[in-house]
Each structure stands twice: as structure tokens, then as C-alpha cells.
Amino acid sequence: MMLLQIAAGSHPLHGTVAEWVWLLPVLPLLGFLINGGISLISAAHVGPSDPDMGHGGEDPAHTDAHAISDAENRGAHGDDHHAVKPHRYAGIVSIIGPLVLGLSFILAWLIFSQMRSVAMTAPFIQRYFSWMPVGSLQIDAAIQLDQLSMLMVLVITGVGTLIHIFSVGYMREDPGYPRYFAYLNLFVFFMLVLVLGANYPVLFVGWEGVGLCSYLLIGFWFSEKANADAGKKAFIVNRIGDFGFLIAMFLLFSNIGVLDFAGVKAAAPGLAFGGALVTAICLFMFLGCAGKSAQIPLYIWLPDAMAGPTPVSALIHAATMVTAGVYLVARSSFLFSIAPVASLVVALIGGITALFAATIGLKQWDIKKVLAYSTVSQLGYMFVGVGVGAYTAGMFHLMTHAFFKALLFLGSGSVIYAMHAAYHHTGSHEDAQDMRNMGGLRKYMPITWGLMWAATLAIAGIPPLSGFFSKDSILGATFERAGHSTLADSRLFGIPGSALLYLVYIFGVAAAFLTAVYMTRMMIYTFHGPNRTGSAEESHLREAPWVMTGPLVVLGILSVVGGWFNLPEAIPIGRVGILDSWLDPVVGDATKRVAEVAAGEAHAAASSELVFILVAVAVAVAGIAFALVRLRPQKLVPAAQSPEEEGFERVLAHKYYVDEAYDAAIINPTYQISKKVLWRGIDAGLIDGLLVNGSSALMRGFGWMGSRLQSGAVGTYAWVLVVGVLAVLGAVTLR
């Protein structure tokens, strides 16, 4: 790679290992090229073949959800029980896939150590080549390394490496093994481009690239229509959000004229505080975030995205890609902090989403769907954090969530792996992801059981696990900002921001309670009580191999200790606020602007923080206790014999019928208008019928009339001639 121009020559990172930052995304790209090449040259068929091969006959109760899990089954175990064979090149792919990520992580860690050893206030920007020189607009292919992107890089490469290793075990017998790793490597490449880009267009390249990889991996087993549809849904819903992001970029360009972060940050103070322009930019940008990070009203694609392989759900749809929206808001904190109304909207949408998704999670039976709604809910928390201007708290929750949610997903993958293996032995067609078919798995999978409990307690917010600290810092910041901040002083639709923020706080606390309930419910139904898998299958349930449980253990440790990186002042059991001071050069100014705190002033009294902590812990404990007391795993029957829910429970089980409402309100009208008006009316009727065929018919009519004159009878011609002559003569003489 050629360095055309080296900027920031005086930067402390100049001439250090940080110069190699371009290698971070290039390593996964190399992995993609190698694995993709292997996938192309190997003659093995891609994707599963006929679903019912070797089982004889079609299952009459073959629902969509069932089909998805079937695909998962074959994905993990191949088509035929007796012909399970790893891919021809599985060995080399298993090495390259995780290796490039591991190297990337090691390099990231080296750069991180270097960054810690120097005092770094300005971002380290590397320009490689001029990408789009258009008039006054100069867009470079440039990388920006600062504390915020470093945090993201560490999360992406660290958690990514673990998930790649897990995938080696989970996907080993899949016929599309090299293709899987090619996509996964490509995803990491784009994700790193997203977080390392030094301007909005480069970020947007990564943003779209991860969307593409998400689409490819959701529809990884594309021969099953439900999976391919889920991929399409994710892609299309994200396009709506991307439209918003693009508009935001256009507005920035037309009003500021630059698109790189440093330039926009420098120009931001010149914009009117809370003005229509900056509010519009932020709201459009947030529309993009709502699409990518699955917030109301664009969250609907994420639960469907569970059609992809489980490690994909862990990496893309829990730990990294879906948090890109949170990252974007934090990255644009210099804009959001001067747009209090937009920030208020972010926090409000985040709060509503957190509560809304948590209620749906209460009644889902598919273990991955529970986790999917949990992810939507936790993303809501992160948006509350960055919305109220507690950018560090939002990023903190992003980090801890990446740990415990990746662990939960990989744990569920391990459970599904075991369930499938068991059902596969007996050739059963039961749903391996339905919790009603699980139960009592603790006996067979003790490691997974222990680690998942750790993650459950972490997400529920039990101290001293990671989720407790991050969630508490968000809720605490929300309450604090409700009392005193630029947000509290602004109004949204005439309602004081202060009241709305108190409402968001209540939503957050309620969602925390529900989180504890549905996570405990998931654990009880999966691991406790009697086993409902089936007597023939029970003996085949066993723990996954070490290549899968190993990453779980590492994530388990991180889920426990992850919160200690940013201890609140109220609990000074170690160094306080490491992450706060780490991110301070990037988001510190914006945070203080929102909180209306003068530089140097302490942000909150430790005593009031203690009250929030006690409330949070009480709520979490109450949720877990409620679930433990109310739920009776002994009464549960396998999925096939379960009755439909009644009343409000049915509404929850059907996810508030939002998909159906969108179908009726948007998709179906669009489809019908497209079909009946645009296609039949405009295209076939107006353009084809009237304009094209109509003009030809008109000309043909004239021709027909002309041809009628040519009777071929000489007498007629003579008559016409004579009449004509007489007419001329008459006209001449009578003039």
C-alpha cells in the first residue's frame, strides 16, 4: 500500500506500530480472498440439498420456523447422517479463518498498548489515497485511529476471533464451510472499515459492506426459502435506514462542505444550537442507526435474521454489526450534543424499544428468538445511553453486551448443536430450537449451563457482573440528565424533555425487570426441570467439543469482569472510570455540553449513584425471583403438544402482530399499488398500451383508411378524377 501523504507528522503515534493500522482490516480481507478462492475452486456443492432426503416423506406439520431449524440442522451436520464428511479443504480453512482474525487482534492489542503509553488528544489520521476529489470536496481513503475506534476494534477482533474459533466446531460439517468463513472474514473487514474510517463516506462503505455480509450470512442456507426471505427482509429494511443516513450526509455536505469527522467536528460549533438543520441531520442519521441497530420502527428484520447460523447471530446480530448505529451516534456526538431534540428522540426511541422488545421476549419459545428480542432491547439501552449524552455509558454497554450476548448466542448454539445431534441420531423432525423440547440440559451440558447462567446474571444486572455496571451507568445518567441537561430544557411536541427522560428512565427500569424475567425463563426452560427432548434422544445429548466450549469460557470470564473497566465512583473497589477517561478525548466535550457541566466539575454525587445502584439490583433480583417462583418447567410439554397461548400472552407470542400490521399497512398496499397501478395501469396500460401500441394503432388506422381508397377498380378512379376536375373547374369559374 502506498502512502501518498502522511498526515499528523507530529502526532505521538507517528512512527510507531500504529502506522500498521491499515493491516487491521487488510488481514481479514486476505482471509476472505483465500477462503473465497477455496470456495470457488472446490467442486463441492454449496448449500444443502433436498431437505427430506433420507428421512422419507414430508412432515405434515412443517412450519416456517421448523424449516429454519431444519436448515440449521443440516448446516451443522450435513445432509445425511452416514455421509457426514468435512469439506475437502476444511483443514486449511479452519486455520486461515480464525488465524487472520487472531493476527488482527494481536496487532490491535499492540497498537492499543502503544496508545496507552502516549498522551493522545487528537485522533491519529492516516490518508492513503484520494478517493473522491470532486471540486471543493476531498474524500480520502483514510483511517482515523482514536480511543473510540480502538475500543470498537478490540471488541470486533477480540469477540470476532472467539466466534471464528467457535465456528470451526459448529460449521465444520457444513458443505459450504469455506464460503462461510469467506463471508465471515469479509464481514470483519467491512466492520473494521466502518469503525476505522476517517470520514462518513468511508464509514458508509463499511456500513453497506456489513449489511451485504449480513444478508449473505442470514441467507447462508439459501435453498430454504424462509432463510433467503429473511436475508432479503434484513437487506430491504436496512435500505430504508440507509436512505436516512445518505440524506444526513447530503445535508452535511451541502451545509458544511466537508464529510471527514475532524472537519465536521471543527465546523459543528458554527451550526445553530438546536437549530432545524442540525436536528434534521441528526434525525436522518438516527434513521440509519434505527435500521442498522434494529430500533423501532425498523427492528423487525433482526428476529428473522436468526435464520442464519448461530455464530453469525452472535457476531453480526448481537456483538458487532447491530451496534454500528450506537457507534455512529457516539462518533457523531459533536452533532448530537448540539441537537437536544434529536438526542431526546434517540433516547425516547431507545427506551420504548428496550421495553417493547423485552415484553415480546417474555413469550418466545425459540431460544434464538428470545435472544434476538433481548438484543433489540439491549440495543435500546445503548441508544438511551448515547441519546441522553452519556456516550461513554452507551459504548460501555456496547462492550459488555458484546461479551455476554455473544456468550449467550454461542451457548445457545452449543445447545442447538447438541439438540440437533440428538434428533439426528433418531431421524426425528422435532424443532431443535424450541425450548419446550429442551429442559434439564444442565445434566448433559454442565459447562454451557454454568457459563450461560453467568451471562444471564450479567445481562440481568446482578453485581459484580459486567451488565450491572453498564446498565446502571446508563440508567443513572438518564435520571441525572432528566434533572439537569440541555435535553431536559428542550421540548418535544410541547412535552418537556425532563418529563420524557423520567419516562425513559421508568421504561429502562421496567425493561431491566423484564430482562431478568425472560432470561431466567430461558435458563429454567432450557437447563432445568425434566427433560422433554424425547426418551430416545436423551442419551445422545452431550457437551459440544472443546473448540466450541473454549471460546465460551473466555467470553464467560469477560462477561464477569467486563464491567470492572468502568467502575462507578460509588463502588471504588478498583480504579474508577477507566473507560470514562479513555474515551474522554473523543466524547468528553459532547458529554459535558449535554450535561451542562463545566470542565473539571464532578458529574454526580456518589451518594445519589448508590441509590440508583440499589434500585437496579433490587429490580434485577425481583425479576429473577419472579421468574423462579412463577415458572413451572415441570408443567411444560414438548412443542408438538403445546396448546396456543390465550389472551395477551398470545399477542406477545405473536410479537404484537407488528409483522402482520406492516404487511397490511405498508407491504401489501405497496405490492398492490405496484402491481395494479404501476405495472398494470402505468406500465402496461399507459406506456405500453396508450403510448406505444396506441400510436402504432393510430397509424395503422390511417393506413387502413388510405388503403380503402385504393379499390383497384378503374371506374372508381375515373369517377374521383372527374369529380375532382369538376370541383376545380367549379371553384375557378364560381370564384
User: If we measure between CA atoms, which residue out of 488, 500, 204, 230 comes closest to residue 325?
Assistant: 204
CB atoms within 10 A of CB 681: 14
Residue closer to other proteins by CB (options 669, 703) is 703
Determine the longest span between alpha carbons in the chain, in angstroms: 123
Residue 695 beta carbon to other proteins: minimum distance, rounded to whole angstroms: 22
Residue 720 beta carbon to other proteins: minimum distance, rounded to whole angstroms: 11
Residue 735 beta carbon to other proteins: minimum distance, rounded to whole angstroms: 21
Which residues have CB under 8 Å from 189's CB, separation 6+?
Answer: 25, 26, 28, 29, 32, 209
Residue closer to other proteins by CB (options 535, 707) is 707
Amino acid at 695: S
Cα 178 versus chain centre, distance:
23
Residue 719 beta carbon to other proteins: minimum distance, rounded to whole angstroms: 6
Residue closer to other proteins by CB (options 696, 716) is 716
User: If we measure between CA atoms, which residue out of 369, 379, 233, 236 comes closest to residue 654?
Assistant: 369
Give the containing element (helix H, strand E) for 138: strand 137-145
Residue 732 beta carbon to other proteins: minimum distance, rounded to whole angstroms: 17
Residue closer to other proteins by CB (options 270, 712) is 712
Question: Which residue shows C-alpha cell 421504561?
Answer: 507
Residue 697 beta carbon to other proteins: minimum distance, rounded to whole angstroms: 19
Residue closer to other proteins by CB (options 272, 725) is 725
Residue 705 beta carbon to other proteins: minimum distance, rounded to whole angstroms: 10
Residue closer to other proteins by CB (options 605, 727) is 727
Question: Which residue shows C-alpha cell 488528544?
Answer: 121
- Tell me how many degrees the CA angle 94-99-105 measures, rounded to the nearest 5: 145
Residue closer to other proteins by CB (options 697, 725) is 725
Q: What is the DSSP letter of 528?
A: S
Residue closer to other proteins by CB (options 494, 706) is 706
φ/ψ of 132, rounded to 5, equals -135, 80
Alpha-carbon Rg for the chain in angstroms: 31
Residue 228 beta carbon to other proteins: minimum distance, rounded to whole angstroms: 58
Residue closer to other proteins by CB (options 137, 729) is 729
Residue 715 beta carbon to other proteins: minimum distance, rounded to whole angstroms: 6
Residue closer to other proteins by CB (options 56, 712) is 712
- Is the preceding peptide bond at 297 cis, omega within 30 degrees of 0? yes
Q: Are 169 and 116 in contact (CB under 8 A)?
A: no
Give the containing element (helix H, strand E) for 128: strand 124-134
Separation between Cα atoms, residue 17 and residue 20, nearest integer Å: 6
Question: Which residue shows C-alpha cell 434533572?
Answer: 483
What is the three-class DSSP state of 353? helix
Separation between Cα atoms, residue 488 and residue 482, nearest integer Å: 5
Distances (CA, A) of 547 to 27, 94, 309, 433: 22, 11, 17, 21
Q: Which residues form the interface with other proteins (CB under 8 A)?
A: 706-715, 718-719, 722
Residue 713 beta carbon to other proteins: minimum distance, rounded to whole angstroms: 5
